[in-house]
Amino acid sequence: MSILAFLIQTLRIATPYLFAASGGVLSERAGVIALTLEGWMLTGAFCAALGSFYSGSPWLGVLAGVGGGVLAAALHALATIRYRADQVVLGIAINLMSVGITRFFLRLAFDSSSNSPRVPGFDWAGATEGNTTAGLGSLLASFSNPLVLVALLSLPTVWWILYRTPYGLRLRAVGEKPEAAASVGVSVARVRWLAVLGAGAFAGMGGAYLALEQHQFTDSMTAGRGFIALAAVIFGQWEPKRVALACLLFAAAETFQIRLQGLQLLPSQFVEMIPYVLTIIAVAGIVGRSRQPAALGRVTE
């Protein structure tokens, strides 16, 4: 029972990581640094809340979230691919901008730059007023968002794209040696555009999960989850399978931290560090030297 609860909580916490990390793998394998995952997610979360609020349907909200992520990614692609801006600097700029822009439009829409009103989400019919669900029922109730299942399929999808489609082959070639890819007639810019837009869609869905799970948008609600996803991409050495494991590991560490804090054996400031210390140890020690896509971050013609 409690192991099952632990696993389900881990899956829920891992969901935004899995989505964002899928985008991260796609974008970075094509040679575009995915520092912007955080900003794409935040934009996605905001658009999802807005879409769900005005349409009344959480599925349209997810669609709007994906659209928001794609839009933010298009801006990134335009600047880095078309105008060859520095990917790191632009990444930071887009992250900062998305915090400001979501607050601005939140204020326009709802007269508060901090919180949206309650929006429709994926509600579980079993939990109604006064109906105290117990045991297995309460576990299922805490696991009612269909996006969790979609998240589990996201990295396998990326794996399939990378290794089982002609586009995936081109994408990997562009990320390793763009000049060679170009010499056999592959359009580097087009491959990268598609990869970045796809990454935005995944990250936007991660944001949509956060907003719809909460039935609300709160400013900066992604709270660094995009960066943790990026760490998972690096920790997983840009391999979809390993990245998926990394996401689950980070989520398990966070779940462990929540449970440990409940026991009150250690001060919360200390417990709070656990996932991050684990990240540092994992990235620095266990993985050893990681090899990134050769053309990552490089500006090419």
Partner 1 sequence: MRKLIVALVVLSVVHLALLFIEPAGATRIATGDGVDVGIVFDVGGRGDKSFNDGAFLGAERAMKELGARVRFIEPGEGSDREAGLRLLAAEGMDLVIGVGFIFSDDLTLLAKEYPGVKFAGVDYAVAMDANGKPVPPPDNLAALKFREEEGSFLVGALAALVGNSKKLGFVGGMDFPLIHKFEMGYRAGVQAVCPDCTVIAQYAGVTPDAFKNPGRGQELGLSQYQQGVNVIFHASGSTGLGVFEAARRLGKLAIGVDADQYAEAPGFILTSMVKGVDEAVFGAIRQVQDGTFRGGIFELGLKERGVNYIDDANNASLITGAARERVEALRAEIIAGRITVPSTK
Q: % helix / strand / coil in the chain, to the nearest 5?
A: 75, 0, 25
Per CB under 8 A, 300 contacts partner 1: no
Single out the segment in contact with partner 1 by CB under 8 A; choices: 69-77, 103-111, 156-164, 178-186: 103-111
Integer Cα distance of 213 and 121 in angstroms: 6
Integer Cα distance of 74 and 92 in angstroms: 15
Integer Cα distance of 220 and 262 in angstroms: 26
Closest CA to 271 of 255, 282, 260: 260
Q: Could you tell me the two tokens for 36? A: 């912007």
By CB under 8 A, the residues from 31 to 90 that bind partner 1 are none
Q: How far is the CB of 50 from partner 1 (least distance, A)?
A: 14
Comparison of 127 and 283: residue with beta carbon closer to partner 1: 127
Q: How far is the CB of 223 from partner 1 (least distance, A)?
A: 5
Q: How far is the CB of 140 from partner 1 (least distance, A)?
A: 10
By CB under 8 A, the residues from 237 to 296 that bind partner 1 are 255, 258-259, 261-262, 264, 268-269, 272
Q: Could you tell me the two tokens for 124? A: 């579980």
Q: How far is the CB of 115 from partner 1 (least distance, A)?
A: 4
Integer Cα distance of 248 and 14 in angstroms: 6
Comparison of 82 and 241: residue with beta carbon closer to partner 1: 82
Integer Cα distance of 192 and 32 in angstroms: 7
Single out the segment in contact with partner 1 by CB under 8 A; choices: 18-26, 116-124, 146-154, 175-183: 116-124
Count the Cβ atoms, other than its own, within 10 Å of residue 259: 14
Q: How far is the CB of 166 from partner 1 (least distance, A)?
A: 34
Beta bridge partners of 259: none
| Residues contributing to the site for partner 1 (CB under 8 A) | 2, 5, 9, 12-13, 16, 99-100, 103-104, 107-118, 124, 127-133, 138-139, 141-142, 144, 210, 213-216, 218-221, 223, 255, 258-259, 261-262, 264, 268-269, 272
